[in-house]
Amino acid sequence: MEEVADSQKRLWGACLFVSATDMDVSCFTFTQVLKAVSLNVKQFFTLVRKLDVNLDTISTKVNSALTRLEKKYDVTLALYQRFEKETIRSCWTMFLLAKGRALQMEDDLVISFQLLLCTLELCIKRCPPALLQPLYKSAISKVQSPPTRTSRRNQSKAKSRPMVPEVDLQLLKTLCTENECNAEEVKNVYQTSFSAFLDSLDLSRSPDFPQVNDINQQYEEHYLKSKEFDGRLFFDGDETVLAPKVEISQVERTPKKNLSDEDAVLIPPQTPIRAAMTSIQQLRGDLTSSGDQPSTNLATYFKNCTVDPTQDVLKRLETLGQAFSQRFGQAVGPRCIVLGRQRFNLGVKLYYKVMEAMLKSEEKRLSVQNFSKLLNDSTFHTSLLACALEVVMATYGGVSETNVCFPWILDVVNLAAFDFYKVIESFIKADPTLSKDIVKHLETCENLIMERIAWRTGSPLFELLKQEHEGGAAEQVETPASFSQPLQHNHTAADLSQVTSQPLTQPSGQTPRPPKSNSLSLFYKKLYRLAYMRLKILCSYLLSSHPELEPIIWTLFQHTLQHEHELMRDRHLDQLMMSAMYAICKVKSVDLRFKTIVTAYKNMPNTNQETFKHVLITEGHFDSIIVFYNQVFMQKLKTNILQYASTRPPTLSPIPQIPRSPYKFPNSPLRVPGSNNVYISPLKNPRMSPGIMTPRSRMLVSIGESFGLSNRFQKINQMVNSSDRSLKRTLDLGATPKPLKRLRFDMDGQDEADGRLVASGVICSTRSRMQEQKMKEDTESRKE
């Protein structure tokens, strides 16, 4: 009974946290919740996400808050583990306070790390020498130059000005060298953010070590105000902030032939900090020879133009540099504008480097040197610069930083996503030094554009589509006949920047069609291939017993994208995919419920609950995916959908050929195991392990596998078997997922009855097949 009571307490604690976060009425801190329910941070996050998987109770607001809190925890944990043996409690507390006050975005690992180095510099130089390690003791600048007559005059003038803390450059350089960090960047952090923090505590004028009680009291006030976790608990070894224990007997080894264990090469483990510093060092190293002004070769290209673009390029960079720095400061911290300018300058170097490489390639390909039209195209320059800046931001950790992650950069430089998309492939080809992670990130950006961002109202994509239709093109955008043809990756940013090109072929006897847009044609080719890959994955989860339905669903899906593209306006590609699957299953009398589709969809790579919870219905009105299907999708495509139930259904669309991505490196393709031609992005979270995606496991959806090992099921059963019947109804984690509370299904046969789960038909049969498949796999794995 005591164990059941603990389960109830944890469940109610999770529900309380979710409700308070949703309503902005929290009167307790996150740490207080953790202590009340006796869970650590990671355990609590897992419990809350289980609620979302099974009851769909987590709003977008709560999910965002949870994600930000988890990222902040991961950053703080990484920093503590890195300096656990090198710092003292008061120094750690001061850092936590500085991070909380100086940064609006505390999930920024790099700037947080740099702030910690600043804090260490202050503490080391104010510590008694006897307490210091020899390395830092010798690094402290002990000899001060005798004051000159001029300096004595300046001292009297300086008394009336606020005292700026003087950084010990030698000590700071030593700290940066030891931690593989750029000293100039840390110096700027010190002179802006950290010095302002010290001044606010009136520590600038005092040579003594800060009063421990004062720092502790001020952090206590900050912690209670933030309502988050207490970072001081790391020093106490408190169970609520302990990291999950990993069995590591020794440092990872690289085996060498003919070497004994004692002679094996020791490689330091790859920590988040080391990974970030390595990526930054690599980027800076690659740009060492690049300047913040056009090189001689690039300047020659500019001068060879009919209209020299040099002044426009420089003026544009100045304008966008100011905008970027200001927006960076707003997102990260008010005193981080200088840091923003540093990152912008790195982006400019990369922008010049890639532009020159592109022009050299174009000169070789076209045997011309006058690129006046391209180099006087403001959109091309802005797109190329935005791509360079996105690479810099991602290298510094912008992928995980909520405030500045893609597509933040598009808003900063006022650039349409469709225009940004045009340069991605050429950018990657022009810079072979880009790391694998950055290449993957840019591919993710491209997919986001095709799935959603390019379809926002105001996008130039709609103007191109309008021109195609008004031109009377018989086959708009990209014809299904071209699906089986290989996707050629020899188009350049220069090609895509041209508005139109003549069609390759023109059938005899037909009225000549207007020229097609290069960029639109390529966009649709890639869109179709992305759409089919995602559909194939979802079908593998749900329709392996009905393989004949996949090409039919694809035909409806492709028809919608080609002929009813207005349905994509301000919506997501996956919304049309799920609607097409449900519609075909409906007319083919296959009992697949929408709630089952949504449950499986959650386990697909790169998905978000917003996609099925927040769908545009009419202008300014959003609702669930089911309401969209009933009121929009089905109404628009009813005639077409019913044709698939007739004796003369529409001709099936050809299946797109899925080539190896041009962005993948030969030694690291991300392929669905068991498939020869399906490539996907990495999973975004551990809800579904990559091992699931095998031919033997394609029937598995979120039920069961998403909860992990059997011991987790035992814990779930303890909750379910609770004497509190209302609790059992609330969290029946062992059964089929309860239907989404806001979803309403088609009129002729509802998927729900009085809000209760209908545990029959395909759901039960699917569950049985899944259980049988799981048992079969377990048996086979034991044999192996």
In whole angstroms, give the CA distance from residue 175 to residue 177. 6
In whole angstroms, give the CA distance from residue 476 to residue 466. 10
- Give the pLDDT confidence score for residue 729 in this predicted structure: 40
In whole angstroms, give the CA distance from residue 495 to residue 517. 10
What's the whole-model pTM score? 0.76
Residue 243 is given by DSSP the state P
Which helix (H) or strand (E) segment is 254 a member of? strand 253-254
3-class DSSP assignment, residue 622: strand
The two three-digit tokens of residue 598, written as one number: 């949504």
User: Residues with Cβ < 8 Å from 61, sequence gap 6 or more?
Assistant: 21, 22
Asked whether the beta carbons of 546 and 762 are under 8 A apart, the reply is no
Asked whether the beta carbons of 267 and 251 are under 8 A apart, the reply is yes
In whole angstroms, give the CA distance from residue 703 to residue 708. 10
The 10s digit of each residue's pLDDT in 71-95 is 999 999 999 998 888 788 889 999 9
In whole angstroms, give the CA distance from residue 582 to residue 163. 68
Residue with tokens 């010095």: 195
CA distances from 316 to 298, 309, 324, 347, 351 (A): 17, 11, 12, 14, 13
In whole angstroms, give the CA distance from residue 427 to residue 658. 22
- Give the pLDDT confidence score for residue 710 in this predicted structure: 42
Sort 294 into a burial class: Cβ within 10 Å, 0-12 / 13-18 / 19+.
Answer: middle
Q: How many helices (H) and strands (E) does the chain have?
A: 34, 4
- Give the pLDDT confidence score for residue 104 in this predicted structure: 77
3-class DSSP assignment, residue 265: strand
CA distances from 145 to 142, 151, 159, 511, 710 (A): 10, 11, 20, 87, 69
CA distances from 163 to 17, 160, 200, 336 (A): 44, 9, 12, 20
Q: Over the Cα atoms of the chain, what is R_g?
A: 30
**Domains of the chain by residue range:** 272-451
Asked whether the beta carbons of 632 and 567 are under 8 A apart, the reply is yes
Smallest CA-to-CA distance from 565 within 461, 718, 417, 448 is with: 461
Architecture of domain 272-451: Orthogonal Bundle (1.10)
- Give the pLDDT confidence score for residue 114 in this predicted structure: 93
The two three-digit tokens of residue 331, written as one number: 């997102």
pLDDT less than 50: residues of the chain: 1, 142-164, 246-266, 473-476, 486, 499-514, 665-676, 679-771, 773-774, 777, 782-784
- Give the pLDDT confidence score for residue 693 in this predicted structure: 37
In whole angstroms, give the CA distance from residue 218 to residue 224. 10
3-class DSSP assignment, residue 671: strand
The 10s digit of each residue's pLDDT in 117-150 is 999 998 888 776 666 666 665 566 543 334 444 4
